[in-house]
Structures are given as C-alpha cells and as structure tokens.
Chains A and B, each alone.
Chain A
Amino acid sequence: MTGSTASGTMPSGRLRLRLEARDQPGLLTHVAVSLLLLVAALLLAGVVMMVAGGNPLDVYRSMFGAGFGSKWGLNDTLVKMVPLTLASLGVALAFRMKMWNIGAEGQLLMGALAASGIALFAVPPDMPQWLALGLMAAAGAAGGAVWGIVPGWLRAQFGVNEIISTLMLNYVALSIVQFFVYGPWGERGFGLTPMFERNTWLPRLTEFADQWSALRGLTLHLGILAVPVAIVLLTILLNRTKFGFEIAMVGDNPDAARYAGVRLRRTMIIVMALSGALAGMAGMNEVSGVVHRLLEHISPGYGYTAIIVAWLGRFNPLAVAVVAFLFGGLIVGADEIQSAGISSLLQGVILFVMVSGNLLIRYRIRLRAPEMLE
C-alpha cells in the first residue's frame, strides 16, 4: 500500500505536497474527515451563493428547516430516504465485491414496472391488502433482480464489462417503462398509468390519524420498515455468513478466492441479483407508497444518487442508511430554493467536494521540506 503514494510533486526548492496512505483508517477518521468535507462543501457553495447575490446563512437555515426542522420536513425526508437507502444498499453490496453495478436506476425502474403490472392486472379490488402488497414486493424484487442478473451473467460467462452493460441497461429500462406508460398501460397519452386500487397502497401514517391525531397529514408509509430490515439482513449476510466472507474475498482478490474454492460465477450472479432486487424494492416502494401509479418520471435519478450514497457510506449498510437520510434531507431542502438552477448547483458542489475529498480518508497530506539531493 505504501508503495502506491501519489505525489503531487512541485518544482524542487519548494515545499512538496505528498499523499501518504493511512495504515488503517478508523471509524473516527471516517467521521471526522466526512464532517470536515461537509463543512468545506457548505463553505464553497456559500461562496457561490454570495456571488449569486444570496445570503448563504438564510438559504442553509431554510434548507435545514425544510429537511429536518419540523415533523413535516422529517416526514418528507424519511419518505425520500426509503428508495435512496434501498437502492444504495444494493449498490453497496455489489461494490463490496468490486462489481461496479451502476445500473440501480434501471433495476429500480424494472422493479417499479413489475410491481405496477401486478397492481394493475393481478390484484382484484377485494384482495387483502397484505397479500397484494406481498405480491407487489415480490414482483418488484424479481423485476430488479432480473435486471441485475443479466449483466451479472454476461460478466460471469463472457467477461462483459458490467460498468458498460449496467449503464446501458438503465436506458433500456427507461425505454421499456416509456413504452408501457405511453402504450398499453397508459391513460390518455400522458405517460402515466391509471391510479392503482387502494389495496395496493402501502399504508401511510395519516391513515391512523383517527387513533392518533398527531399523525394527520404525515405521508410516511410502511415501506420505511424495509430500511431497518434491509440493514440488519445485509449486515448479517456480509459479516456473519460464509457467503458474505466469499463476497469480501472475491472483492479483495478473485484469484485467491477461486483457489479457496469460491464459485466465482455463481457468486457474481447471486450478488447482482440481490443488488438488483434491493433497487427493485425501491421502485416498488415508490409506486406503492408514494405515487400509486407508474409514470415515466417515477425516479428522479435515485439509482444514480445511490452510487454516491453507497460510496460516501463506505459500503457499510448502517452508514449508507445514515448518508441516505442526510441526502434525503438535502434534496428536500434544496427543492425549496429558487431558482431551480441554484438548488442543483448546491447539490452538485456538495457531491463534488464530498466525493473528491474522500481521498483524505485513505490518505493524509504531508508537507515536506525539499530534499537535500535536489
């Protein structure tokens, strides 16, 4: 590891900047560096806002208020967190094995499509809600899994680069969704299906307002329970099972893993299936818990944001969920800021600083006096 230090060498005779690998970046380093980066990002974005003629403090105050400052804001942030967490966990699982699955967006769409198909055509209005939701969840997971298995199998069987195949399949999935919502499942040519029957909706808190009046108006839906369940299951899978150990081993050194008896192809395909299934569940949650119909723009790019969330969460399920929560708040808060261009700029700056600065977790910067020989 130490042999691979990248050095930003300055002309001789001056101080030199060097990057040195940290031995074992601990939890504290992670948290400290991440917080530092967040502050740096907010400062940088603040400068941009000041140039644009705004007051960054006001903007941040209202963003924070909108995302976390009230029960309404928290509600909206948690609703956003559900698809983000599920898709990010899927991405994190694949990344653990160094399977660069950037197809969460497509897997999410296929999950949404499959769940919608069940809701529209396989659920009679008198079917018990638990059964309808169970069928939709299974279909969502299956839809996403299929969209993960295809590039997984191509990689395992033919060595097809999964970065390219998963990315391309995102566009294929979007086209398929467009075909259905404008075509056979569409309503009046507007790119959306009819609204689903009530028994296919994930129950929302507001539906229990008769018993607890404080819940009135809260749109948080039952899908939020999938978040802790997925975290626990994934943590157990990764840390407590043989399969989890194999995933880590393949990620570290595929050759060694093969010598140790890991069936590489099988592992790749299963991991991609699970990864896709998680994203597919995210899609099911959106159609069943939030929109109650399928439409072309069912995902505002959750699958792509998930890659960044997974990375910032260091592929650790719990950390990924925490990052997803913060990102949910960031998106909800930034949506409040006008003009719309500014809000995407803000998100962009924060992403950029966090991602590029992440280097600092693995490396530390050393200032060095010029060496004598030079």
Chain B
Amino acid sequence: MLRRLAVLASILLLAALLAGCVLPEPSTYPEEMPTEVEEQPTLTTPDIVEGMFNVAFVYVGPIGDGGWTYAHNDGRLYLEENLDNVNTAYLESVPEGADAERVIRSLARKGFDLIYTTSFGYMDPTAIVAEEFPDQAFVHVSGLKKNDHNFANLFGSMESAKYLAGMVAGARAAEDGSNRVGYVAPFPIPEIVRLGNAMTMGMRRTCPECVMDVRWIFSWFDPEGEREAAVSMIDAGATVIITGADTAIPVQVAGEMGFTGVPGNSANACDAAPEACLGVPYWNWGPAYVEIAQAVMDGTFEPDDFYLGAPDNIVGFAGFMEGEVPQPAVPDWVIPEVDDVLQQMRNGEFTRFDMFTGPIHDNAGNLVVPEGESLTQSDLEGIDDELGALLGRPGCTYCMGWLAEGFVADAQVPQ
C-alpha cells in the first residue's frame, strides 16, 4: 500500500512539475538586466476606466525579457505619458496558441477602445476578434493582415538599424583580424532573412573582406539555443556575434570569451554586457503608438499596412543617437561613417529601398537584383503572388529568400 502511494506521489509530483514547466515563464530573464519597470501595483487585472481612452496591449513574452516585449512596454509607457486621458493595460506572456484569441476577445469585451497585439502569431486571432467588435480598433504588430474599418498592422524598418549594426560589427571584426561575424537567426522567414541581408551589406561596407556566418535556431526565445549558436560560430572563427533572438545571452557569451556582439530590440540591451556590446538596433514603438491612438480618438483612424521608416523614428541604434556615446568596443575610425549613414537614414536620403538596390549578388555569386533595380515592399516582405492575392497587394519579384553576398558560401535559408 505504502509503495503504491509512493509511486502515485512521485507521479503527481512529476505531473505538477511538468505542468509548472508549461506555464508561462516568470519574468526574471536575464538576471543581469537592471529592471527599471515603473511602479505598478504588483497584482493587476487589465480593466477599462470609464471616461478615459482605454488601450490594451497583449505581449508574447514577459516585460522583463529585456528585448522585444520590454520595448513594447516602453512604448506603452510613452503612450501614457504623451497623450492625455489615456488609460493603458497589458497582459504579458500570452501564448500564441489556443489562448490568444480568448484573451484578445476578453479584452475587447471589457471595452478597450484600442488593442495592440504584439506578436506575429496573434495575427489571425486579432483579425477574427476585430470582425466581432467593429466599434473598437485593433492593431497587430509584425503581421500582414488588415481590414477596411478597424484592423491595421504595424511594423518598421528594423533593416535600417541592422545595417548600422553590420557596419559596426564589420569594423570590429576587421580590427580583430578575424574578418568574421556571426548571426544568431531565429527563423528562416523573410523578416529574418531581410535583417540578415541588411547587416551583411552594412558589414561589407566597412569591411569588404568580412564574411557573415549564420545559425538558425528556430525559436525567438531559447536561452540555451542562443548560447550554443553563439559558441559554435565563435568556435568557427567569428569574433563578433549579432543576435536576432530575444535575449542578450549571445553577447554575454561572446564577452566571456573575450569577443563582442550586438543584441537587439530594446534600447537598454547593452546593459547586460556593456564591455562586450557594440550597440543595439532597437525598436521605438512609442511615437507610432501615440499617433495611432490619437487617430482612433479623433475618429480619423484608417486601417493600413503601417510600415514606418527610419525618419519616423520607429527604430534606433543605441550608442549613436543624440546625446549618446558609442560603446567602448566600437573602433573609433568607424564612428563618423556610422553617424553619417544614420543621419542620411533619418533624413530619408538612405531608405530601405536605397539599401536594397542592385546590383545585389547572393552568397553563391548569382546576380539577384540587377543594376538600377530596387526591391519593392512586397520583395522586402517576401510576399509571393499567392499571398499577395490574398492580401490585395502586389506579389514579389525578388522575393526575400536569398542570402546576400558576404554570407559564408555554404550558408542557406533552410527550405
């Protein structure tokens, strides 16, 4: 009897552990990140305040991720500070699966006037709920869909900031004598390919001999996978690691091994490893959040594919913005050129389309984009004819499925 009970007890303990494992991650990662989250009541349930304009945010990760979600939460705080009579609320660590639609619908039922959903996997759930609540506005970040009355999508030209990161990384690798940079790439999707190509072109601008290694980790948030990818590329000779995944771990790892790296997404990401950090291409969602909220308040909101550029201030490169000093590991000689290109980007003289203008070769030496041709927005987003027909947008000609010259020759976009 006692033995049976012991078996049962151990099974239940195991089950409880496993159930615990699949619950949302507590917001404690990475530990080194100084958390400057504002004073919030510790336990809150998102709710509207009568008489105010109510905005809700759905986050895929914990605010404390020091990356993607952290940047969105910064945008939320900016919105609260910069628009009067706005009440904001959020739900963090909402899984992209079956629960997303329920959570978004529950926020809509509570009467939020505007709901931002901030992960690609929320696209269809947001679209579905938007149809059910035609009097409220929905904005999906990083997606493709919209409707004609209350549902828009929002994204921005992160490729501009990644290009600058590539310039700095190339300079550093040239200085190191390794001429080799590594890219921790989350998924083989057009966005990640586009960002990789942008940073590789930036790298080649400051270091024509440099090559870009790449590891696909098939996750946005996988601390162990991110670490392994960084170590593997350093073992292969890279001395600078640029990560497209959520944590700053690849940069910390590079730092521990005496090298440098570029984290992403949130303006303070260098704090995780200041010595090793070269700068951060980061998101600055606040102004866009304010503009859209204002339009909804005024009744002038017209859903669209909002894809903002560097002049709209939706992205930045930490260390090189007004009043900032480049990180110590950035070679001095590259700073004026980076400042210059950043200025051109802010002035609209060097857009993402200028960046992706032919001739562009791929890493096997084939000419992908002929001289004088520029990629279109559909090319950049890899929207093929079939998807384009569905979205009511033109299909792509030079679809984003190739790796630019500068990637190591055997690098590929997995199927």
Contact = CB atoms under 8 A, between A and B. Distances in A.
Interface of A: 1, 4, 6, 49, 52-55, 58-59, 62, 66, 72, 76, 79, 98, 100, 102, 105, 163, 167, 182-183, 188-192, 195, 217, 219, 286, 290-291, 293, 295-301, 304-305, 307-308, 311, 332, 335-345, 347-348, 351-352, 355
Given A55-B43, A305-B19, A338 B106 contact: no
Contact of B11 (A76, A100, A188, A339): A100
Nearest to A21: B1
Contacts of A182: 218
A79 B102 contact: yes
B102 A102 contact: no
Contact of A301 (B19, B26, B93): B19
Contacts of B45: 59, 62, 66, 336-338
A308 B98 contact: no
Contacts of B15: 102, 304, 307-308, 311
A105 B19 CA distance: 10
A344 B26 contact: yes
Interface string B27-47: 110000000000001111110
A103 to B, nearest CB: 11
A307 B97 contact: no
Contacts of A189: 187-189
Nearest to A49: B43
A341 B16 contact: no
Nearest to B59: A340
B124 A195 contact: yes
A191 B43 CA distance: 33
A308 B105 contact: no
Contacts of A344: 20, 23-24, 26
A302 B132 CA distance: 28
B130 interface: no
Contact of A355 (B1, B12, B97): B12
Contacts of A342: 42-43
Nearest to B22: A301
A190 B189 contact: yes
A374 B276 CA distance: 68
Chain A to chain B: the 4 pairs with minimum beta-carbon distance, closest first: A54-B43, A301-B22, A297-B97, A341-B26
B97 A338 contact: no
B106 A304 contact: no
A362 B173 CA distance: 68
B138 interface: no
Contacts of A163: 11
Contact of A72 (B22, B62, B106): B106
A295 B121 contact: yes
A332 B106 CA distance: 10
Interface of B: 1-2, 4, 7-8, 11-16, 18-28, 41-46, 62-63, 90-99, 101-103, 105-106, 109, 120-121, 124, 132, 187-190, 218, 382, 387, 415
8 contacts: A54-B43, A66-B106, A301-B22, A335-B103, A338-B44, A340-B26, A351-B19, A355-B16
B67 to A, nearest CB: 16
A114 B411 CA distance: 34
A113 B45 CA distance: 35
Given A299-B97, A300-B99, A335-B91, 15 more contacts: A1-B1, A4-B2, A54-B41, A55-B43, A66-B106, A102-B11, A191-B121, A217-B109, A300-B97, A307-B15, A311-B12, A338-B90, A339-B43, A339-B63, A348-B23
Contacts of B132: 217
Nearest to A80: B102
A299 B14 CA distance: 18
Contact of A219 (B11, B18, B105): B105
A305 B21 CA distance: 11
Contacts of B95: 297, 300
A231 B240 CA distance: 60
> Which residue among A1, A183, A191, A345 has the maximum number of chain B CB atoms within 10 Å of its CB?
A191
Contacts of A337: 43-45
Contacts of B188: 189
Contact of B27 (A52, A291, A305, A341): A341
Contacts of A219: 101-102, 105
Given A295-B121, A335-B103, A307 B12 contact: yes
B97 A190 contact: no
A298 B98 contact: yes
A53 B41 contact: yes
A295 B98 CA distance: 9
Nearest to B18: A304
A295 B189 contact: no
Contact of B42 (A53, A76, A191, A348): A53
Contacts of A192: 121
Contacts of A4: 1-2
A188 B189 contact: yes
Given A190-B187, A190-B189, A348-B20, A338 B46 contact: yes
B405 to A, nearest CB: 23
Contacts of A298: 97-98
Contacts of A311: 8, 12, 15
Contact of B43 (A59, A100, A299): A59
A301 B42 CA distance: 26
Given A54-B42, A344-B23, A301 B62 contact: no
Contact of B102 (A55, A58, A76): A76
Nearest to B125: A291
Given A183-B415, A344-B23, A6 B2 contact: yes
A335 B43 CA distance: 12
B270 to A, nearest CB: 25
> Which residue among B4, B8, B43 has the maximum number of chain A CB atoms within 10 Å of its CB?
B43
A308 B16 contact: yes
A112 B63 CA distance: 31
A189 B219 CA distance: 11
A364 to B, nearest CB: 15
Contacts of A348: 16, 20, 23
A190 B1 CA distance: 49
A250 B18 CA distance: 28
Nearest to A70: B109
Nearest to B8: A311
A355 B15 CA distance: 10
B98 A291 contact: yes
Given A66-B106, A76-B102, A340 B415 contact: no
A167 B24 CA distance: 21
Contacts of A191: 121, 187
A201 B62 CA distance: 32
A335 B41 CA distance: 17
Contacts of B91: 335-336, 338, 340
A72 B19 CA distance: 26
